[in-house]
């Protein structure tokens, strides 16, 4: 079975609190994009295995896609004394690693959805969403399908406001950023100044990416990767209608409502810095 595992961008991300267990709560608007990994699942194996084309992504049980497969197979009774069915997972990475684009979470969700389809949909969407939450905060979003407002630690989902389609040019600066490090550097007191803006934003009937793009984590991520700021400036200079860092970084995206300008921006930015990876894609609305 061959599966396409899509990336996501955060069109806004507000840090709204911190739980006693140390996890931060957020309010974020997530949207899928056309950039995707490719996953091959082979069935009838003696044990579950997982390998990845990217040297920086762990193999075996350390990979979230491996854990997703084992969780699914156990839940439908394919793991036990009377039945031991396993799969081999091979991931071809196109989504940059450590970029804030949700690649690992998407891989896990895609494995859950693919296995559910292969075995005749034994699990409901609600069950899959619950399984996704147990694996990681963003996994549920990729199971949900379509743009979504996410609360809690990113796992409480609700329908998103209407989003006007646009092209996306993404710059990955070539430096992976640790989500844990970004949150550790976050000045949570400064994010509280945005509360009044949040009230207005969350009541809007239509999301305007030019007006509403915002990410509370940008400043903390730029301390770890100054190239984030350089990438934002480069996208604006290339004609982007709006720019933002996605998730906890380090990838930055530009919103383009003009297709020809987006193509030209991708071409020029690809030549600007040899360390940058530049992608042109669409949002999934």
Domain of 99, CATH number, reads 3.30.230.10
Rounded Cα distance between 25 and 7, Å, is 21
Q: What is the per-residue DSSP string for 100-139?
A: SS-HHHHHHHHHHHHHHHHTT--S-HHHHHHHHHHH-TTH
Which of 159, 179, 206 is where one domain is finished? 159
Model confidence at 39: pLDDT above 90: yes
Rounded-to-integer distance, Cα 177 and Cα 169, Å: 19
- Average pLDDT over the chain reads 91
Same domain, 120 and 221: no
**In terms of domains, do 23 and 151 share one?**
yes
Domain of 47 in residue numbering reads as 2-159
| Cis bond before residue 250 (omega within 30° of 0) | yes
- pLDDT confidence of residue 207: 74
Provide the pLDDT for residue 285.
Answer: 77
User: What does the pLDDT look like over 218-272, one tens digit per residue?
Assistant: 999 999 999 999 999 999 999 999 999 999 999 999 999 999 999 999 999 999 8
Active site residue ranges: 8, 138
Residue that finishes a domain, picked among 131, 159, 187: 159
**Is 30 in the same domain as 85?**
yes
Share of the chain above pLDDT 90, in %: 73
State both tokens at 56: 């920086």
Residues 178 and 136 in one domain: no
Same domain, 125 and 220: no
Residues 259 and 130 in one domain: no
Q: Are residues 148 and 173 in the same domain?
A: no
How much is the average pLDDT of 141-166? 90
Residue-level pLDDT at 228 = 96
190 falls in which pLDDT band (50, 70, 90)?
low
CATH of the domain at 224: 3.30.70.890
* Stated pTM of the model: 0.92
Report whether pLDDT(188) > 70. Answer: no
Question: 143 and 172, same structural domain?
Answer: no
Same domain as 150, residue 186 = no
Pair 169, 276: CB distance under 8 Å: no
Same domain, yes or no: 155 and 249: no
Q: State whether 137 and 200 are in the same domain.
A: no
Q: Helix 259-272 to helix 227-237 angle, to the nearest 10 degrees?
A: 140
Number of domains in the chain: 2
């Amino acid at each position: 079975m061959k599966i396409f595992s899509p990336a996501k961008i955060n069109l806004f991300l507000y840090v709204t609190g911190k739980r006693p267990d140390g996890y931060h709560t957020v309010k974020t608007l997530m949207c899928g994009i056309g950039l995707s990994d490719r996953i091959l699942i082979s069935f009838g194996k003696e044990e579950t295995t997982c390998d990845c084309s990217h040297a920086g992504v762990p193999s075996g049980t350390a990979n979230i896609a491996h854990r997703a497969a084992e969780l699914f197979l156990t839940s439908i009774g394919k793991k036990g004394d009377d039945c031991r069915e396993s799969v081999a997972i091979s991931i071809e990475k196109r989504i940059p690693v450590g970029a804030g684009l949700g690649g690992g979470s998407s891989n896990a969700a895609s494995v859950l959805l693919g296995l559910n389809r292969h075995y005749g949909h034994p699990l409901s969407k609600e069950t899959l969403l619950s399984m996704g939450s147990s694996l990681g905060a963003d996994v549920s979003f990729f199971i949900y399908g379509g743009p979504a407002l996410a609360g809690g630690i990113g796992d409480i989902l609700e329908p998103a406001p209407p989003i006007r389609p646009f092209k996306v040019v993404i710059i990955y600066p070539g430096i992976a950023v640790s989500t844990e490090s970004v949150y550790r550097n976050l000045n949570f007191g400064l994010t509280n100044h945005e509360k009044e803006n949040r009230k207005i934003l969350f009541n809007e009937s239509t999301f305007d990416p030019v007006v509403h793009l915002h990410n509370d984590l940008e400043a903390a991520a730029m301390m770890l990767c100054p190239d984030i700021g350089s990438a934002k400036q480069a996208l604006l200079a290339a004609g982007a209608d709006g720019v933002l860092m996605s998730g906890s970084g380090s990838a930055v995206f530009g919103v383009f409502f003009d297709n020809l300008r987006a193509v030209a921006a991708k071409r020029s930015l690809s030549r600007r810095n040899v360390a940058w990876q530049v992608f042109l894609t669409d949002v999934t609305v």
